[in-house]
Structure 1
Amino acid sequence: MTKEDLFYLYDDTETTKTRFVSFMGKTNRFDLALTVSSRFYGKVLVLNLQSNRFAIVGHDDLEEEGYLEHIYQLDEEEAEELREFLAQSI
């Protein structure tokens, strides 16, 4: 397949800012990469480097019940620790 055979929806290059952070909560260690880009409409790409799970997260998502638990496959206590960190960091 050549480049001419592909139908691109977009192909952009952007300079982003990524923060790598590791912290230990009461129940779990978190190793995260938080990437800020204009593409996410004010939200942050949050990658959990241990589980290889990621989501585009904003403050509205932190308020949604069960969101972090589902996306990152965490129990309630682990999700609350992540929620508290992200509320201060994004």
Structure 2
Amino acid sequence: MSNERFFLYDDTVDTKTRFVSFMGEEARFDLAIIKSDRYYGKSLVLDIQGNRFAIIGEDDLNEEGYLEHAFQLSERDAQELREFLYETF
């Protein structure tokens, strides 16, 4: 039995991470927004409380239902998150 791992990639990159928490009308958002040279300019957005994450760019914010599905949010909560993310991108 071989103990060698087959890596598809193993890179270390510099990132800029923003931790932010804010209250919406009905929900609290605790996020980590990670920016790097990866993902074609998109950000890795982690919902710390909800234990979900997505790779998001401005094009994704315009896609109907994307945030609702990725973070399991109501339409209203997704709109609040969308508005916040527009400000950060």
Aligned-partner residue type, residue 62 of structure 1: L
Distance in 2, Cα, partners of 1:40 & 1:18: 15
Over 4 Å off, 4+ runs:
none
Corresponding residue number in structure 2 for 1:84:
83
Q: 1-side partners of 2:13 and 2:58: how far apart? A: 23
Identity level (%): 64
**In structure 2, what is the Cα distance between the partners aligned to 1:67 and 1:53?**
13
Equivalence map 1:1-90=2 (5 Å): 2=3, 5-90=4-89
Can you give the 5+ residue segments of structure 2 that lack an aligned partner in the other structure? none
For this pair of structures, how many residues does the alignment match? 88
TM-score w.r.t. the length of structure 2 is: 0.95
**Counterparts of 2:64 and 2:35 in 1: how far apart (Å)?**
24
Superposition RMSD in Å: 0.9
In structure 2, give the amino acid aligned to 1:44: S
Give secondary structure in 2 for the equivalent of 1:38.
coil
